[in-house]
Structure 1
Amino acid sequence: MALVHYSDSESDTDDNEDLSTSRAAKRIHLDTPTDNKQASSLPPLPPSFHDLYASSTRVSVRDDPSLHGGRKRVIPHVEGNWPTHIYLEWYPSKSDLVVLSDIITQAEECYGSEGDIHSLLHSDLGAQLPLHISLSRPVVLRTEQRDSFAEIFAREIRDSHIRPFDVTLYDLDWVSNYEKTRWFLVLRVQTPKYDCLNRLLRISNRTLALFDQPPLYESPTSIESKVPGRKHYADERPVEDCSHCFHISLAWTLTQPSSAAKARVANIDLRRLRDFTVHFNTVKAKIGNNVSSIPLSMGIQDERTIGGL
């Protein structure tokens, strides 16, 4: 499973308390009726705005788990290597966040004293974070491969004629990353119309296979060795049905949940999720700190290639 983006900072305890008090005062001020009316009149930020700030500021040139809540870097930093991730991004609405936050709170109660659960809904400073469905593992491209990968992947998405689609959420579970260093509280995703998730996964896996990168979910033997020249996959079926693998992560922990904790989480009431519909119209490709958005059925969103920094 592919996972993303972490940073943190250290400060004195007293400074943290003062800063928290200051932020709380600002939140109270912003929550007045007058300010709400003013805020509601402002146009929403364009989707591309979030791509400009998709990565946190680096606070260390080496892998220091103490700076990241105990997390260890999956891909070591090496000059000339570019960590790469393909995914579908979701920014939940405020009402959705209330429901998701409550689910995480219930999961914490189910987890008990087994370990700490860290929410993925907000950063340490309170900023909302995007959630995602992964279409690749965390992989690595070399500097000279970035532009080629960008061109092939964008062309394959464009030629697939996959239209924007909706998914619904149906189950709560714990899954680990490939290294078994972290466990994630996830919501399982129902298979969308026209099997769009499987089709996008195969495009991602086939394209990455050209650059000797491992697939996500599928076995390597099921992936075709060549992608260029394929026009589209509207009538194709994936060799492997990976519908049961797709999910959206809500929180993480460093401690493997016990069987009892998993059973308690599985019994959390998810009826409020029945009205959730998550819409996807863009595939995100992140290489290093550069994020490109590829609209479904329309081609590349802007003229910059993924490697074109």
Structure 2
Amino acid sequence: MSRSALHVLRMFKEQEEQEAPPDESEKHGGRLRTFPHERGNWATHVYMPYVAEEDFQGLLQALLCCARTYVPSLSPLPEFHISLSQVVVLRYHWIAPFVQSLKERLRSVSRFICRADQVKVYTNQTKTRTFLGLEVSSGYSKLSELVSEVDKVMEEFSLATFYKDPSFHLSLAWGLGDLSEALGGQRLQELQETVDGFEDSSSFLRIPGTEVRCKSGNKFFSFPLR
């Protein structure tokens, strides 16, 4: 076994039966889990992080001010990222080899820049949540390259791969229920005009692709790109 593999395995000396802390809906604005919590199951997600600076937060507040004219209950998300996988379930003893496989797959991917500046409204598959997001308008091919590598890892563990022809995006805010009609049409155009007219938005909406992260339960792993 390689030294790097041993290093990853050393991070997981806890017993296999260790349990990921369950999500409590009352602590998350009433959002419900996509799948029921079971002992030994760890919800796992692979994504590219985006650290929001002051200018971005200013744009977010401007978008919320506009969107809340139609949907007062819309709430900002505490952090931002571009998803590279669906949320999947790992057994505890799978986490170490899963992380090691991700590390090996992603080590050859080079850094890049993408841009997310197209306002779009998304709903989850069950239509119980709606998200206001910024869709990627450039850098799609590099994000697809990342997804291709992540998908190979998912296939190794017989897990669901990412969506076909995905809409890569930053989710900014969310609300309960299907709010796509309330935020669509002319309202969506108003939100796009807010982005287009915001000072220096073309600069701070350039997203540096320098690392990929994986969250599994309460554990976080980082994979710097080359």
TM-score bin, normalised by smaller chain: 0.7 to 0.9
2:207 alignment counterpart: 278
1:245 alignment counterpart: 167
Match of residue 197, structure 1, among 109, 121, 143? 143
1:182 alignment counterpart: 129
The answer to whether 1:103 aligns with 2:63 is yes
1:118 alignment counterpart: 75
Residue 70 of structure 1 deviates from its aligned partner by: 1.7
Residue 110 of structure 1 deviates from its aligned partner by: 3.4
- Deviation track 1:224-269 (CA, whole Å, cap 9, x = no partner) reads xxxxxxxxxxxxxxxxxx3x61000000011212535311123321
1:135-154 correspondence runs (5 A): 135-154=84-103
Distance in 2 of aligned mates of 1:144 and 1:259: 43
1:231 alignment counterpart: none
Q: 1:62 and 1:292, CA in 2 relative to 1: closer, same or farther beyond 3 A?
A: closer
- Deviation track 1:33-63 (CA, whole Å, cap 9, x = no partner) reads xxxxxxxxxxxxxxxxxxxxxxxxxxxx776
1:14 alignment counterpart: none
Q: Is the 8 A contact 2:84 2:150 kept in 1?
A: yes
Gaps of 5+ in 2: 1-20
Gaps of 5+ in 1: 1-60, 121-128, 219-241, 298-309
Residue 121 of structure 2: SS of its match in structure 1? strand
2:10 alignment counterpart: none
Aligned residue-pair number: 199
Distance in 1 of aligned mates of 2:159 and 2:182: 36
1:265 alignment counterpart: 188
TM-score normalised by structure 2 residue count: 0.81
Q: 1:260 and 1:84, CA in 2 relative to 1: closer, same or farther beyond 3 A?
A: closer
The answer to whether 1:90 aligns with 2:12 is no
Residue 212 of structure 2: SS of its match in structure 1? strand
The answer to whether 1:256 aligns with 2:178 is yes
Q: Which has the larger radius of gyration?
A: 1
Q: Is the 8 A contact 2:121 2:180 kept in 1?
A: no
1:157 alignment counterpart: 106
Q: 1:250 and 1:162, CA in 2 relative to 1: closer, same or farther beyond 3 A?
A: same
Residue 82 of structure 1 deviates from its aligned partner by: 1.1
* RMSD (CA atoms): 1.9
Distance in 2 of aligned mates of 1:291 and 1:62: 16
Q: 1:260 and 1:69, CA in 2 relative to 1: closer, same or farther beyond 3 A?
A: closer
